[in-house]
């Protein structure tokens, strides 16, 4: 069961050509440079580009082929555009309730109050849409789409207009919404952070075509992934997380090592009550990992992990990406200068200590 799309669409100079199956569970990120066709692809999935030669089916139901085109309103798709497109003749509440009213009670999985709360919309309900700032508008658009409890969410850079604080506040809620309501989501985004926090799968787009969709963990194995162009390589470790004391600090453990890490307050408030979580993901930027030949003492870095060097990739910017295999076999990447590599005499197979300065709990 999944979303299958095949498109062959020449529009002026631009050609969108792909045959792709997207998982119909969790969040699939579409990541690619400006103008590569992300919006066009979403519009085809939504049935908004009738001119496009395309076949679309979702969970076994044909949405579009040569002979048929299920109209958008029958697809139960939540759509958030790049620019908030609020209906200007309705106030905020009426915009939000527009879809809600048109959703059969049996299909309503999300309570309006909950959506209002998670997107901080309560204080805006009485406003006219022209009284909202850009960010507020986008929040309303997001809420409005969620109100229909859609079967599929199509998000076209929904957070681009939000400020960092608002973004950080909403991200975990969005993550929870798409997870708890099990709404499969196609997310177009430019932000590696959003991908790491939200995505389960990722499809890289370039010039009108999509590389096969892969699991995020898999995509992160590739040091030259476009995801890393901005912030550098990232490793993701799987393990158990147990909260210790307050402030969100706790212990991330695998069978063979522990890391002292911290989850965000938003994360905490979402999971208040429980203290131990299985199968969590820890995100570690390669630039936050240093290497020592002996286990250093008298240093502020807390997390020291024994590892073996399993790869050394020289990049053209004078940096070396060091692949480290941890005791439990998981992969950790470290970014060092080539000067350091030669100073320390790092070679393949060498046992070293990985010093992890900081790590972020995902999921």
Partner 1 sequence: MSDFFAFTPADWQAIWLTLKLCFITTLLLMLLATPLAWWLARGGSWFHTVVQSLVALPLVLPPTVLGFYLLILLGPQGWIGQTLESMGLNHLAFSFNGIVVASLIYSLPFAVQPLQDAFGRLGHRPLEVAASLGASPMDRLLTVVFPLCRGGLVTAATLSFAHTMGEFGVILMLGGSIPGETRVLSVMIYDYAEALDFQNAHRLSLLMLVFSFLILVAVYGRQRRFSLFAQRNVNS
Ligand X SMILES: Nc1ncnc2c1ncn2[C@@H]1O[C@H](COP(=O)(O)OP(=O)(O)OP(=O)(O)O)[C@@H](O)[C@H]1O
Judged by CB under 6 A, which stretch of 56-64, 124-132, 302-310, 342-350 contacts ligand X?
124-132
For residue 329, what are the contacts with CB-CB under 8 A and spacing of at least 6? none
Question: Taking the complex as a whole, how short is the minimal distance between the CB of residue 36 and Mg ion, in angstroms?
Answer: 9
Residue 203, classed as helix, strand or coil, is strand
Answer with the entry of ligand X, a second copy, Mg ion, none that 219 interacts with (C-beta below 5 to 8 A by kind). Answer: none
How far is Cα 181 from Cα 299, in angstroms, rounded to an integer?
45
Check residue 154 for interaction with a second copy (CB under 8 A). Answer: no
Residue-wise DSSP of 118-155: HTT-GGGTTSBGGGS-HHHHHHHHHHHHHTT--SEEEE
50 binds, among a second copy, ligand X, partner 1, none (CB under 5 to 8 A by kind): none
Cα pseudo-dihedral 211, 71, 8, 78, rounded to 10: -20
Cβ closer to ligand X: 11 or 260? 11
Q: Segment 82-101, which members bind ligand X (CB under 6 A)?
A: 82
Binding part of the chain for partner 1, among 68-76, 111-119, 176-184, 223-231 by CB under 8 A, reads 68-76
The residue within the footprint of a second copy, chosen from 176, 215, 287, 308 (CB under 8 A), is: 287
Determine the interface stretch with Mg ion among 131-139, 221-229, 317-325, 351-359 (rule: CB under 5 A).
131-139
**β partners of residue 321:** 313, 335
Among 88, 134, 265, 296, binds Mg ion (CB under 5 A): 134
Q: Is 256 helix (H, G, I), strand (E, B) or coil?
A: coil
Strands 27-31 and 185-188: parallel
Which positions from 122 through 141 interact with partner 1, judged by CB under 8 A? Answer: 128-130, 132, 137
Give the binding-site size for partner 1 (rule: CB under 8 A). Answer: 30
Whether 62 contacts 110, CB under 8 Å: no
Phi, psi (rounded to 5 degrees) for 267: -65, -45
Measured CA to CA, the distance from residue 9 to residue 185 in angstroms comes to: 23
Binding-site member from 5, 36, 177, 220 for ligand X (CB under 6 A): 36
Which residues, numbered 291-350, are part of the site for partner 1 (CB under 8 A)? none
Q: Looking at 7-15, 59-67, 167-175, 262-270, which segment touches ligand X (CB under 6 A)?
A: 7-15
Q: List residues near Mg ion by CB under 5 A.
A: 39, 133-134
């Amino acid at each position: 069961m999944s979303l299958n799309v095949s498109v062959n669409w020449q529009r002026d100079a631009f050609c969108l050509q792909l045959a792709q199956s997207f998982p119909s569970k969790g969040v699939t990120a579409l990541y690619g440079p400006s103008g590569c066709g992300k919006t066009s692809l979403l519009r085809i999935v939504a049935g908004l580009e009738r001119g496009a030669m395309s076949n679309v089916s979702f969970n076994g139901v044909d949405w579009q082929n040569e002979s048929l085109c299920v109209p958008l309103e029958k697809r139960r798709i939540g759509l958030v555009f790049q620019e908030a497109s609020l209906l200007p003749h309705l106030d905020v509440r009426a915009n939000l309730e527009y879809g809600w009213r048109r959703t059969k009670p049996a299909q309503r999985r999300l309570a309006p109050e909950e959506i209002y709360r998670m997107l901080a919309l309560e204080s805006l309900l009485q406003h006219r849409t022209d009284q909202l700032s850009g960010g507020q508008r986008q929040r309303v658009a997001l809420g409005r789409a969620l109100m229909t409890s859609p079967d599929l969410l199509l998000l076209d850079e929904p957070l681009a207009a939000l400020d960092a604080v608002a973004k950080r506040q909403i991200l975990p809620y969005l993550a929870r919404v798409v997870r708890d309501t099990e709404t499969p989501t196609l997310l177009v985004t430019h932000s590696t952070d959003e991908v790491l926090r939200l995505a389960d799968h990722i499809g890289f787009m370039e010039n009108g075509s999509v590389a096969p969709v892969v699991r995020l963990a898999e995509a992160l194995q590739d040091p030259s992934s476009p995801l890393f162009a901005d912030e550098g390589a990232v490793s993701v470790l799987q393990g158990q997380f147990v909260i210790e004391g307050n402030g969100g600090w706790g212990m991330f453990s695998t069978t063979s090592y522990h890391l002292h890490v911290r989850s965000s307050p938003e994360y905490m408030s979402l999971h208040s009550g429980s203290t131990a979580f299985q199968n969590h993901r820890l995100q570690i930027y390669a630039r936050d990992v240093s290497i020592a030949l002996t286990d250093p003492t008298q240093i502020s870095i807390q997390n020291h992990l024994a590892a073996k060097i399993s790869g050394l990739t020289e990049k053209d910017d004078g940096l070396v990406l060091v692949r480290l295999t941890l005791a439990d076999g998981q992969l950790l990447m470290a970014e060092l200068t080539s000067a350091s590599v030669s100073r320390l005499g790092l070679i393949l197979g060498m046992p070293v200590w990985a010093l992890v300065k900081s790590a972020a709990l995902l999921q």
